Amino acid sequence: MTGINMASRTLLYWLMLAMVGVMMPVPALSQVFKSEPSSRRRAVIIELHEDLNPLSGSILKRKFEQAVASGVDVVIFDINSPGGRVDVTFELMDMLLEADNVETVAMIQRDAISGAALFALACDKIIMKPGARMGDAGVIVLGMSGEFRYAEAKSRSMVAQKARDTAAATGRPPVLAEKMTDKDMIVFTATNKESGEERFFSDKEWEAFEEAENWDRGKPIREGGKEMFFIANGKRLVEMGVADQTFDSSDQLGEILDVDMPIEVLSPTWAEGIARFLNTGWMTFFLIVIGLIALVVELTAPGISVGGLMSLLCFSLFFWSRFAAGTSGWLEVILFALGLVFIACELFVIPGFGIAGLGGIGLVLGSLVMASRRVLIPENSEQLGTLGYDVLTVVGAFTIFLVALFFLSQYIGEIPGLSRLTLQPPVVAGVDGAVDDSADLSALPGWQRVQIGDVGEAVSPLRPSGRIQVGDVLVDVATEGDFVDSGTQVRVIGKQGARVVVRAIT
């Protein structure tokens, strides 16, 4: 009896365990073995390791928009920059201040100077290595003598106010931000007599402060003296409330910012690297010179040849790099193409060289200058200086092109149409215009040796200009507008100076 009871109890015990197992929800069982998903935020790092110029600003803005569109929670800017142009800096600061759906963090491991410091002020958080530096945002311009100097009061006041407003919007001491841009003001601390609150004041603010009697004025801070722009290291900036926190290694970013590790880095692409290279001053100069020379070479043998392809490549790279920098649009491309059309009409259609030719050259050079600028009409000394640099680059390249054209003409013979711009060899002719029989005909240019009615063969496609051979003489000619294939028999039907007009024999 006892054995039966023990067996019954054992069976009942196992049945109860089985029922509990069946009744237990599956999710509860799975939670025992399944780890909790990470609750941390997703972040990306965007590098700013160069000066702030139209190209770097355009790339940075595009990467920021790409990051926001991907749905990240935090965008970290890895800053190591000497600053740059004021207009680019302001545009990027506004981009950060208007970004409401993402947290922005300035991570400074080395230097954030000038415009880069103002850019960091516009971020929601600033984290720095203890020895990293930030500040010194005085507006410096290049003077007419070639030396850098302090900008005029109008530019300084605009930058100072922008720095104050940005610091106030991001919860940082406005007076310290202003001191980054103004070397003449003095910054000191003052303590409220009743509450013990401590604040930073400038000498300008103190003079207009109506409650000055309720505060005890302290000594100037060592970074806020006269004749110096405010700059400090990370440890000191945290003490003064400009930076939020210091860090020693990027491995700490996950804990400091509550983000998943490792953090994705939006590194520069190969196309961005090429665009940066093509936007350098000397490369711009090179593209314009080679493009113009190749274009002239194409005019000596019309059709799609090496010269035409080389010219197309040079100017395509020029405008593509300007599109990437955000300084050029389709207007500049259209003006450039229109200028080429005007020049072609002047060379091959309209006799002489006048308004159409000069207008075409103006359109070409003007479009190249416009494509290099964000603002065509300068509004301050900085923009005036960059305009002068862009004009000097384009005009200098055009001057080198003219010099190269002079030497080139010594080897490639006469250039159709462009021969009007250069001195021609002496014409040996009689009173009635006929060639003197006693003259050495081999010393005369081809256009002078052929006569109306002569028949020759096209040795290159005439589209509508090209080259024919009459006997043993090679002559640069043009048709009346028709295209003639190479090898076609043609007849000389007209001459106007160095311009020889032919027609295909049918």
Run of H or E residues at 192: strand 187-192
The CB density around residue 55, as the number of other CB atoms within 10 Å, is 23
Structure confidence at residue 379 as a pLDDT band (50, 70, 90): low
Run of H or E residues at 149: strand 148-150
Q: How many CA atoms lie within 13 A of 121 on its CB side?
A: 36
Residue with tokens 């922008």: 162
The two tokens of residue 39 are: 């609750």
152 pLDDT higher than 70: no
Tell whether the torsion through CA atoms of 29, 33, 38 and 39 is positive or negative: positive
User: Counting beta carbons within 10 angstroms of the beta carbon of residue 501, is it exposed (0 to 12), middle (13 to 18) or buried (19 or more)?
Assistant: middle
DSSP state of 212: G
**pLDDT at residue 352, rounded to an integer:** 52
414 pLDDT higher than 70: no
124 pLDDT higher than 50: yes
CA distances from 448 to 10, 220, 444, 475 (A): 126, 86, 6, 9
How far apart are the C-alpha atoms of 43 and 151, rounded to whole Å?
39
User: Counting beta carbons within 10 angstroms of the beta carbon of residue 165, is it exposed (0 to 12), middle (13 to 18) or buried (19 or more)?
Assistant: middle
Q: What is the residue-wise DSSP string for 294-317?
A: HHHHHHHS-SS-HHHHHHHHHHHH
71 or 298, which is more confident?
A: 71
The phi, psi pair for 150, rounded to 5°, reads -70, 135
**pLDDT at residue 141, rounded to an integer:** 65
Q: Region 402-421: what's the mean pLDDT?
A: 59
In the predicted model, what is the mean pLDDT of the chain? 80
pLDDT in tens, 160-207: 999 999 999 999 999 999 999 998 899 999 999 888 899 999 998 998
Evaluate whether 475 touches 461 at the Cβ level (below 8 Å).
no
Q: Region 43-60: what's the mean pLDDT?
A: 91
**pLDDT at residue 377, rounded to an integer:** 67
User: Counting beta carbons within 10 angstroms of the beta carbon of residue 286, is it exposed (0 to 12), middle (13 to 18) or buried (19 or more)?
Assistant: middle
Q: What is the residue-wise DSSP string for 474-506?
A: EEEEE-SS--B-TT-EEEEEEEETTEEEEEE--
- Torsion region of 196: left, alpha or beta (phi above 0 gives left; psi -120 to 50 gives alpha): left
Reduced to 3 states (helix: H, G, I; strand: E, B; else coil), residue 321 is: helix
The two tokens of residue 372 are: 């290099």
How far apart are the C-alpha atoms of 262 and 35, rounded to whole Å?
19
How far apart are the C-alpha atoms of 402 and 189, rounded to whole Å?
64
How far apart are the C-alpha atoms of 8 and 4, rounded to whole Å?
6
Q: Collect all residues with Cβ–Cβ distance below 8 Å to 215 and sequence separation of at least 6.
A: 190, 191, 192, 193, 199, 209
Residue with tokens 């936007």: 279
**pLDDT at residue 118, rounded to an integer:** 96
pLDDT in tens, 276-293: 888 888 888 899 889 888
Between 35-44, 71-80, 212-221, 497-506, the lowest mean confidence (pLDDT) is in 35-44
Question: Cα 265 vs. chain centroid, distance in angstroms?
Answer: 21
- Residue 262: asked if its preceding bond is cis (omega within 30°), the reply is yes
How far apart are the C-alpha atoms of 314 and 468, rounded to whole Å?
30
Between 8-17, 107-116, 127-136, 308-317, the lowest mean confidence (pLDDT) is in 8-17
Evaluate whether 472 touches 464 at the Cβ level (below 8 Å).
no
315 or 296, which is more confident?
A: 315
The two tokens of residue 253 are: 């970013």
Ordered domains of the chain (ranges, CATH): 2-33 (no CATH), 43-183+229-266 (3.90.226.10), 275-419 (no CATH), 441-504 (2.40.50.140)
The two tokens of residue 95 are: 């981009």
User: Counting beta carbons within 10 angstroms of the beta carbon of residue 273, is it exposed (0 to 12), middle (13 to 18) or buried (19 or more)?
Assistant: exposed
Evaluate whether 492 touches 502 at the Cβ level (below 8 Å).
yes
